[in-house]
Structure 1
C-alpha cells in the first residue's frame, strides 16, 4: 500500500490524498484553496498539481469525496478534464458534485455513486467503508480502506459534535471496533490542533441566532455563511421562520445549494417562506432574512457586492443588521474586515464572531482529537489538512498520548509512504507544486505569477532606435506605468533617457565591433535598473526594445 499526499499538508485547502493498491489508484478529495492576492495576483483558484496523476491516469479507478466543501470538492471539474473517472460520496456530496460537473459540461466524463453511512463498497481492488462523521456540512464521511496491511482511516474534515443539527453522530463505536482489529494508518484533520478543549456544538449557534433575531424585530437581517454550510443555513431558516420572516437566498452558490439541499430533504424550509432575491422590493424589511454567500470577503460573492454597493437587488443602510456567521480562513482576515468596514460605512449594524457566538468551527479541537486517537489507536499516524504548524501540533498530541515518535510522521505535499506488513517507508515523493487557475486559460505557472508580482511596483519600458552604424538615431523613448507620476517628475524621466543614451553610446564606440540587438537590450536594462534603483529607490519591472534602421 502506497499513500501519496498531493495537497492539504502545509496549507488550509487544496486537499488531495491518493492511495495505491495492486497498481491501482484511489483518489480521496480534490479541492481548491483560496489564493493569497498578495503573492498570487490575479489567481482565481489554487489546485493540487496533476502532473503525477496524469502520468498514472489509466490506473485511477475512482475519486471519493469526503464532504461537500470547496476545499475537498471544488477541483473535481478540473480533475475530470484530465482524467475520466467515476465519483463516489454521500448523496449530498454527489448532488453538489453533479451540479458542478454538469455546469462545466463534463457529465459525460464521469458517473455518480452514492455511498450510505456504514456501507462497504468495492472500487477496483479497494474495499471501502464509509462511516458517518460530524462536520459543518451534512453527510460528511470518514473513509476506511480495508487492506492487506490493516485498515487505513482518512477522517476528512470532522469534529465530534454530541448534538448535531441533523442528529447524525460520529460513529466512534465503529472506529473503536476497527482499533481493536488493528488500524495500520490514521490520517486525521489537524485544522484546530492548536486549540484546547472542544468546539462548541452547532446547535449552540442556533440559540444565538434566535436571540439576535428576536432582539431586532424591525430590522432587515442579512446572514452570510458558506453556501455548503447547510446545518448553519438550516438554523438561520428556522430562526427566521419562527420570527415570521421569509428567507431570501442570495449569491449563485447559495441559491444552487439551497435548491439542491431542499430537493434532497437535507434542508427543510416551508415553500411559503422562500422568496427570490428579485422579490425584495415587494417585501417589508422587518419581514425578511437574506442568507447569502461572501462571508470570506471573496470578490464577486453576494456580500462583497452588497458591501461595495454593486449588488443589483440588495442595498444596505440604517435598517439592516448583517451577521457574518463564519470565521475568516487564515489569510482572509484583511479582506473580511475591509468588507465589514464598507458595510458599517453604509450604516448597517455588523455582527461577527468577535461580538457574539454566531459561529463554531467544524473542526475538532484538542480534546476531540484525543477522543479520536483513543478510539483508533493506530500503528502509524500522519496528520493531514492544515498549515504545517497545525500538523506539528497534532503530531505532538499523538506523541503525548503514547505513540512512539518514529510512528508519527509530519509530512508535506508530495510525500509518499509505503506500508508493507508492519513496516512503513517514506519514499522520495513526487512534485506537488501549486496549480494556478486564472480565467479561461489554465495554469499561468509560477514564472507568470513571479512576473505579475514584479509588476506590482510598476514597469518601465525603453525603446531605442539605432541607425545602420549602430548609433542612436533618436533619443531613447521611455514609457512607464505605476513607477512614478511623469507630470511631476519629468526631470527624472529625462535623466533616465540621458543615462541610457550614454550607456548605449559607450557600447557602440567606433573602436569596437557593433554589438547585436540582444547585447544592446542588456545594456539598456542594466543602465535603467541602476538608475531607477539609485534615483527612486523603487524596483519596477524593466523591459527594452531595440529597433535597427538597416
Structure 2
C-alpha cells in the first residue's frame, strides 16, 4: 500500500496550524504535551513533580515479566518524545500509545490539551474492585462495606434491543442515573414521511434531577444521533472521546438549543465519577476511531458495556483493543456484561480493516485509466484514510462529496485523526481540471440513500460529477438490512450509464466493524460475568449471543433478554426482570418531534394505498336547502378525466345523501350528514373498484 499507509494519527493532535507537533495524553486523561519552557514550568508547579525522561508517559506494562512500569504522579511526556516513531523501510511506525496509569487516591482536574476544542473531564482513579463472593465463582460481588438496605442496580434499555439502531440505556443506582449512548434509528418502510426515530425519554424527563451524565461509546449515528433531540429537554453533561464529541459538536451546530451543551472530553483509560457510579472508558476497535467500551463501577459490582467492537490485531491507527484491562476486570469480578450482538450469528473472526487496504491497492492498480468513485460510510475515518493514502500512492487527487462526509473528514483532520498529504485534496468544483486517471472521488450514498451524493450521480442530478464509461464506482460497504432495494436501484442506474461497479460480493472492499462469534466468546472469557444481557441487535441476534454465553459457561438462569423499557434489577439477592418504564419510539418528521403518532401513520398509509376523495357542498340549514355542490375532488384514487362515469355516479349518490339528511331534519347534525355521505360513497366505490379511499366530506353552512 506504500509508505503513506504507515502514517498514523497521534493519539492527540494539535490545531491545523501546527499539525506537525502532536500531543499525547496519558491514558488517565492527563494532558501530555507541555509546549515550551513556560508551559513545562506550569506543569511542574501544578503537579509538584520534576519529570525525569521525556518518554515516561509512553511506558507500557511488561506483562511477560510480571512487572509494571508506572508513570509518576502527574507525569506527562514531551511533544518531541511523544511523536518519536521508528522508521522501518519506507513506512512510519506509530508511536506507542500511553498506558493506563496506576490508581491514585485523589481526584484531579485534567489540563486541557492545546488544540482540544472541548474541556477535559475531571477524572478519578479507578475504584478498587468489589470483593468476589468466593473463590472460583464467576463475577459475583459482595461489598466491602455495608450497602444501604434495599440497594438496587437498575438497567433500563430505552432502545437498541430487538432492533437495529436507537441505542440508549439508563443505568440507575439510588439517586443517580447514567445514560449510555443516545442514538437514533431509521424509519420502517411503513412509516411514511418519517425522517428519523429516536428513543422515548419520558422516564428520563421525569427523573431529570437524578441524571449525572450521558456517556457515549463512539460517534456512530445509532449511538449519538439523538443527542440534539434529548438535550432539548434534559441538560446533563455529555462525556465522550475527542472524535466522538467532534461529531456531536457538528450535529449540535445544526440545532438551535436554548442552552450551551456541556461537552466533556475523556480519553481511553480515564474514569469519571458520576454520583455513586464511576465510568471507566476502555479502548476497543470498531469501524470508527476513538471507540470505547465502558466499565461502570457501582457499589454492587462492575458492569461492563462493550459498545460496538471487534478484535483487530492490525488496526490502521496501531491501537489494539485493551484486552489487558478487560482481563483485569474479569479477574476482579464483573457483575454484569452487556455485549453487542450484531454479528452473533456469524462464525469466526471479523477481518482486519487492513484487508480493505489490500483490495484498494489491487483495484487502483488494475483501473489506472479510470476515474474511481468510492462510496463508504462517512464515519469510517480509517477507511477514508486508506482511500486517501492509496490515491496519493497512485498519483491521484482526492475530491470529497456529500455533506456528512465533508463534515466528518474536516473534524477528523482538525482533531488529528486523519493525515492528508499536502496537495492531495481538491475541491469537488475543481475536478474538471483533472483527467480520469488523476482523480478519486470519495462519496456518501453507500446505502442507496435518496438524495445522497452517489444517488445524485447515478441519476444524473449531481452538479459537479457526471458518470460514464470512464468511471469505476466502488461500494465500500455492506448493505444494512432493508437497504438492499435502494442499493440495487443505484447499481442498475450506474450500469445503465456504462459505469463499472464493484461491491462487497465481488471483491473484499468492506469489512464489518462488529465482533463475530469467536470475538464474542473472547469477551466472555475475558470478563467472566456473573450475569449477562445481550444488547445491540434484533431478537435473533440477541438469542444467538445468549447461546454463545451458555457455551462459555454462563448459567442460563443468569442471562436476560429484555424488551425496550423492561427493567433488569440487580441486588445482593440476585437479578431479575422486574417491571417496566415508559419507552418506545418517538417519530421525527421535519421539525416535528413526537407529533406524529400511530393514528397519523395509519392515515398516511391509507392515503398512500387508496388515495383521497373530498366531497364539498354548501347548505342553508335555515331553509334545509342545498345551495351548491356537491363537488368531488380525487387525489391518488383515480384520474378523474378517465373516470368521468364513476365520478358522476359518486356525485349523484353524495347529492342524494345530503338532500335526504336535509329532508329528514338532520340539517343541524353535521356529523350525521358527513357520516351518511362517507358511508354511501365507501360502499359504492368499493363495489366498483375494490378500493377504499379516504373520504373527507366538507359541508359548509351559509
After TM superposition, the score normalised by the length of structure 1 is 0.96
Which residues of 2 match residues 319-398 of structure 1 at below 5 A? 319-398=470-549
Tell me what 1:316 maps to: 467
- 1:214 maps onto 2:365 in alignment: yes
Alignment of 1:431-470 (within 5 A): 431-446=582-597, 447-457=599-609, 458-468=611-621, 469-470=623-624
Q: CA deviation at 1:450?
A: 2.2
Q: What is the aligned residue count?
A: 547
Q: CA deviation at 1:473?
A: 4.2
SS of the residue 1:286 aligns to? helix
- Structure 1 residues 342-351 or 141-150, which shifts more? 342-351
Cα distance per residue 1:5-62 (max 9 Å; x no partner): 11111211111111112312111111111223x2112211111112221112222111
Contact 1:460 1:478 in 2 (8 A): yes
Determine which of 630, 633, 640 is the counterpart of 1:476: 630
Change in Cα spacing, 1:160 to 1:539, as seen in structure 2 (3 Å) is: farther
TM-superposition CA deviations, 1:341-371 (whole Å, max 9, x none): 1222222111111211111111111111111
Q: Deviation at 1:266?
A: 1.1
Match of 1:33 among 164, 171, 185: 185
Q: Deviations over 1:363-407 (max 9, x none)?
A: 111111111111122111111111122112212222233322221
Give SS of 1:525's match: helix
Partner SS state of residue 247, structure 1: strand
Matched, 1:245 2:393: no
Cross-structure match for 2:99: none
User: Helix, strand or coil for the counterpart of 2:641?
Assistant: coil
Partner of 1:545 in structure 2?
A: 698
Q: Deviations over 1:232-289 (max 9, x none)?
A: 1111112111111111111111111111111222111212111111111212221111
Map Cα deviations across residues 189-240 of structure 1 (whole Å, 9 max, x no partner).
Answer: 1111121222111111110011011100010011111111111111111211
**Relative to structure 2, which stretch is displaced further, 459-468 or 79-88?**
459-468
> How far off is 1:475 after superposition?
4.7
- Note if 1:228 corresponds to 2:403: no
Partner of 1:262: 413
| C-alpha contact 2:616 2:629 (8 A) present in aligned 1 | no
Write the distance in 1 (CA, Å) between the matches of 2:432 and 2:421: 21
Contact 1:14 1:46 in 2 (8 A): yes
CA RMSD of aligned residues (A): 1.7
Residue 53, structure 1, aligned to residue 204, structure 2: yes
**2:289 matches 1:173:** no
| Contact map agreement 1:43 1:436 (CA 8 A) in 2 | yes
Listed as ranges, the gaps of 5+ residues in structure 2 are: 1-152
Task: Name the CA distance, whole Å, in 2 between partners of 1:387 and 1:399.
Answer: 19
SS at match of 1:207: helix
TM-score, normalised via structure 2 length: 0.75
Residue aligning to 2:135 = none
- State the match for 2:76 in structure 1: none
1:125 corresponding residue in structure 2: 276
SS in 1 for 2:568: strand
C-alpha distance in 1, partners of 2:527/2:196?
A: 35
Check conservation: 2:276, 2:298, Cα contact below 8 A.
Answer: no
Match among 681, 689, 699 for residue 528 of structure 1: 681
C-alpha contact (below 8 Å) 2:371/2:472 kept by paired residues: yes
Worse-superposed segment, 182-191 or 105-114: 105-114
CA contact (8 A) 2:219 2:291 kept: yes
* Structure with max Cα Rg: 2
The alpha-carbon deviation at position 335 of structure 1 amounts to 1.1
